[in-house]
Structures are given as structure tokens and as C-alpha cells.
Structure 1
């Protein structure tokens, strides 16, 4: 009698095995990233440690990092003026593990130099000299968000993002930032 298994136990075990196989197949078919790839660090989140805060010691850097953490930002738009130098972009490299970065440039030469850094995604936009700087910022913000959505960098309009820009037209550095959320 010990060689005969109960039918209800056998059916329950087969059902569990089938459900497990179905779940694995579903997870594999609907995966966000291939199993051979590691999940990007900006998708995993991070914790603010004192060591991490100390690494961001430049002007605005610690404030931006804390804002990225508190508002759960996944995108950073950097609006670059025509006179900006590539050296200014190197200070933004340290944010790459925490957010996706899209740089809006107005000069093909600058775009090429930024692309050579192999960190940023770029978008070339044309500046209209008849617009005020405030109108130019609005145009670049709209164009940048549209491009970020088309590249799947910005999935939900309700999410917060970081917008970095120059306060005045012709300034060679990005000296202001805002955390924005579209409503």
C-alpha cells in the first residue's frame, strides 16, 4: 500500500508545478529588461548616505541629489546655451547612476563633444533670436519632454524631473535648476 500515491496529493503537486511554470513563463515574456542584463541603477533607487552626500560638494550638486532622492526623479533635462563648454558637462557626470540625462544643445559642435562623453543623450534644437530667453526656455522644455517621452526616458507625466538651465541668455554655465512636475 505504501507504493500507491493519493490522487488528490498528486493532482495538487501537478497543479503547483504547472502554476510555477506558467508564472516563470509569464515573468520571462513580460520582463522589462533581458535576464542577461542588470537592471539600470536609476531604476533601482538609492539611499542618501553621508559618503554619497560628501561626493556631491559642488555648487547646487548636493541640493540636486537630495531633490532627486526626495521627489524620486528619473529624468534630468539640461538646457545648454550656445556658448557652453564641454568642461561644464563633466560636473553632471556623477548624476548618471541616479537619473536618465537628456541634454538640449543649440550647436552641432557642442552636441558632438557631448556625445563623445558617452554618458548623455542629446537633442539638437534651434534657437530663435527673436524669442526672449524665457520663451526659449519654455520651447526647449516642451521639446525636451516630448523627446524624452519618445525615447522612453520619461514614462509618466505625473513624475517629477530636474530641469537645469542658465539664468540668462549667453551665460556659459548652467547655474539654476528647478524640480518640475507636469499636472
Structure 2
């Protein structure tokens, strides 16, 4: 659970980067825009070592660029190697690639004493994870954070964006845990994060 919440913190960092750089690439698809949600799935995959083959969702970490290269996004052993791989997907945009590599290689930690003191023993090899890395993608892309709430409910804007993650027994399909995280639900007036 803390890994999922930590990923929410990484997504906040990525959003700050994405407001400063344009992520466009030339992919063989109907859209020339790199779906940022793919990058978030990339972040999540790297938070769950050993489960790479059991993480499923709406997005894929595989791309084919204009040169016909099939590129699988993954966390490389160094920040520089990850930046080089991201650069292939982002059409050579070194600044954006380096900024994203910095985010996925930084050590962002979310701790909670209650969570840290809870121990659950479930064999990792039976776990499957379903991910919707950015629900309300339109709200995320528009990035409006100045929306006023109506009795504590935000009708639109970044505050509506959620990360949906379900963990289930891959052999039986039985749900084991679900998490909904809203990384932009609040904003620090000092840092604007």
C-alpha cells in the first residue's frame, strides 16, 4: 500500500515536469502524443519488482517509433540509461527524457506508522495487479488546479484525477485489495504542489 501511495507522490513530480515540457513523439498509431498514462504505468511497474509480468491495465509500456524500433519502457540500472531509453520514445527530447529519468530514479518515500506495523503474508507469485494509472485523463491533461469545490466535491480539475489499483489472486481472480489514490486532492500554497 505504501508503494502505491509513493507512486502517487512520483506522479505529482511528473506533473510538474510535464507542465514545463511537451511530450510529443512520432509513433505509428492514430495519435502522435505519447500517452502520459503509459509513463505512470512504467512508474508503477518499477515499484513492484518481480511482478512485471503480472501487472495489467489499460496502458502498455511497449511502443514502436518511426524507425520501426520496438521499445519497451523499463527502469534501467542508471538514470542515464533510463533517460536514453525514454529519449527513443520521446523523439530525442533529451531535456524531458532526463527530467523523467530523474523522477523515476529518485527515492520518494511515503511512510505511515500504522501501515508499517501491519504485516500481511501473501505469496507474491500469486498476485496480479490491475492498474488504471490516470483515471480522468482529460482532467489531468487540462491541469486546472484552481477549481473551487462545491461542498467539498470538485466537479472537474486536477482534484478529480485518481490512480486506481486492484490486487487479486492471479489463479482464482479473487480480489485481495484495492486502492484509489488522488495525488492532486490538495495543494500546498507555499510550494504549489
TM-score by length of 1: 0.25
Q: Which structure shows the bigger proportion of residues in helix conformation?
A: 1
Larger radius of gyration: 1
TM-score by length of 2: 0.24
